[in-house]
């Protein structure tokens, strides 16, 4: 057997079956079911597909869109994500000037092109804005000075700067020219999401007819006060052709709202995203980010200082998986699928995870006393990364 091979004994997250998995040269070489299906205690090791988050802005004070971000910073963000079970993500750039966006896209594209590990970790870029609502509330933490109308020619310049790596665009469909832009983006192979919007029902329906496929962090990026019947949340919930990403971090969506959104969209049309802020993982305090002051409050949420407006999340996708179970009522399989399988399906990527020949992008985890999963180890193309929480690695080498 290859000297670099690793053998893992664990329970499958989707069936509970005990399996022995052999990993070598970055791929899964064998999967054997152990003929012992007796019930096991919570302390047993479990195995599942690694997470894919479509919306991560940065972490540890480093932002993908920062003019000062370096190759090392980008690699550090990716490494931190891996410690939370995220092996693939869409680096997300928010509303900014065209010059700044082009510069950020060039930096990202250059880093991805020069490193095969980053190329695998960052397969496509998420452009969140600048074509969003200028209104307070729907705009969220995006700088108002750079919000503007949809512009196909500008987008083409941005896509050129990204070397074609923009895969996902979030926009507000009520803006002049938005529907035509959605049609053009869709025709070019870019996935269009609706978000940071105050759109009417008709405008949302027109956007879906034009090709929009996702609601970005549904339930957030909207007005704080809405009409009880006619509002963009209900309209997007009712539209089965729209999938939804949800931020299940315990702050962006109250438990009752999270449960209702999940029941309506169902886990088959829902993605979990942490929407990690540039401040994710930093200690509480005030920080200058995105041309404004943001604050990490002691309870672990990030707000625009002096306002109730959230500005991304302080946690990562593994935390959202736990809260989707604890607060949202999702099963283990549903929660992991929403964080690992659904994003890949939305973007048209392979969803094979425990098949011979598949890339060994895997998570190993255990359950705590509350019955919630905590990652102990992440495999990225067969390479091991220890968990962020410092739980002792417990795979069995047979």
Catalytic residues: 275
> Following DSSP, what letter does each residue of 236-252 receive, concatenated?
HHH-TT-EEEE--SSSS
Q: Cβ contacts of residue 138 below 8 Å, gap of 6+?
A: 132, 172, 196, 197, 198, 221, 222, 223
Query: What CA–CA distances, in Å, run from 162 to 99, 103, 127, 335, 384?
Result: 13, 9, 11, 32, 30
Burial of 371 (0-12, 13-18, 19+ CB in 10 A): exposed
Q: What whole-number distance in Å separates Cα of residue 189 and Cα of residue 290?
A: 29
Please answer whether residues 303 and 295 qualify as being in contact, where contact means their C-beta atoms are separated by less than 8 angstroms: yes
Burial of 295 (0-12, 13-18, 19+ CB in 10 A): middle
Residue 196 DSSP label = S
Question: For the CA atoms of 130, 134, 139, 142, what is the dihedral angle to 10 degrees?
Answer: 50
* In 124-178, beta strands by DSSP E: 125-128, 166-171
Q: What whole-number distance in Å separates Cα of residue 74 and Cα of residue 342?
A: 25
Phi and psi at residue 57, in whole multiples of 5°? -85, -25
User: What percent of the chain is helix, strand and coil (3-state, nearest 5)?
Assistant: 30, 25, 45
Print burial letters for 132-142: b (CB count within 10 Å at least 16), e (below 16).
Answer: bbbeebbbbbb
Phi and psi at residue 349, in whole multiples of 5°? -100, 165
Q: What whole-number distance in Å separates Cα of residue 179 and Cα of residue 158?
A: 19
Residue 282 DSSP label = P
Please answer whether residues 55 and 90 qualify as being in contact, where contact means their C-beta atoms are separated by less than 8 angstroms: yes
């Amino acid at each position: 057997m290859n000297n670099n091979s690793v053998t893992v004994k664990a329970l499958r997250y989707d069936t509970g079956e005990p399996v022995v998995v052999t990993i070598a040269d970055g791929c899964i070489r064998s999967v054997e079911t152990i003929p012992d299906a007796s019930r096991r205690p919570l302390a047993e090791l479990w195995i599942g597909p690694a997470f894919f988050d479509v919306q991560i802005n940065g972490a540890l004070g480093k932002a993908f869109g920062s003019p000062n971000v370096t190759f090392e910073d980008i690699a550090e963000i990716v490494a931190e994500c891996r410690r939370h079970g995220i092996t693939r993500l869409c680096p997300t750039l928010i509303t900014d000037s065209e010059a700044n966006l082009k510069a950020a896209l060039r930096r990202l594209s250059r880093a991805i092109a020069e490193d095969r590990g980053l190329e695998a970790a960052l397969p496509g870029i998420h452009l969140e804005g600048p074509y969003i609502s200028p209104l307070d509330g729907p705009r969220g933490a995006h700088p108002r000075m750079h919000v503007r109308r949809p512009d196909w020619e500008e987008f083409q310049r941005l896509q050129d700067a990204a070397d074609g790596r923009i895969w996902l665009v979030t926009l507000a469909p009520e803006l002049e020219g938005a529907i035509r832009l959605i049609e053009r983006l869709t025709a070019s192979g870019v996935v269009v999401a609706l978000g940071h919007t105050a759109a009417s029902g008709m405008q949302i329906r027109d956007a879906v007819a034009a090709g929009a496929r996702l609601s970005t962090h549904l339930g957030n990026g909207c007005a704080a006060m809405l009409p009880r019947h006619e509002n963009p949340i209900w309209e997007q919930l009712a539209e089965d052709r729209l999938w939804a990403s949800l931020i299940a971090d315990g702050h962006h969506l109250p438990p009752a709202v999270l449960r209702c959104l999940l029941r309506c969209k169902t886990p088959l049309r829902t993605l979990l995203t942490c929407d990690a802020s540039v401040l994710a993982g930093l200690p509480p305090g005030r920080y200058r980010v995105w041309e404004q002051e943001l604050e990490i409050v002691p309870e672990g949420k990030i707000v625009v200082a002096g306002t109730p407006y959230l500005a991304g999340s302080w946690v990562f996708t593994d935390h959202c998986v736990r809260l989707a179970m604890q607060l949202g009522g999702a099963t283990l399989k549903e929660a992991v699928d929403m964080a690992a399988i659904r994003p890949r399906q939305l973007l048209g990527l392979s969803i094979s995870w425990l098949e011979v020949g598949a890339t060994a992008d895997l998570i190993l985890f255990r359950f705590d006393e509350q019955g919630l999963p905590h990652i102990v180890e992440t495999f990225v193309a067969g390479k091991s990364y220890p968990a962020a929480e410092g739980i002792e690695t417990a795979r069995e080498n047979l």
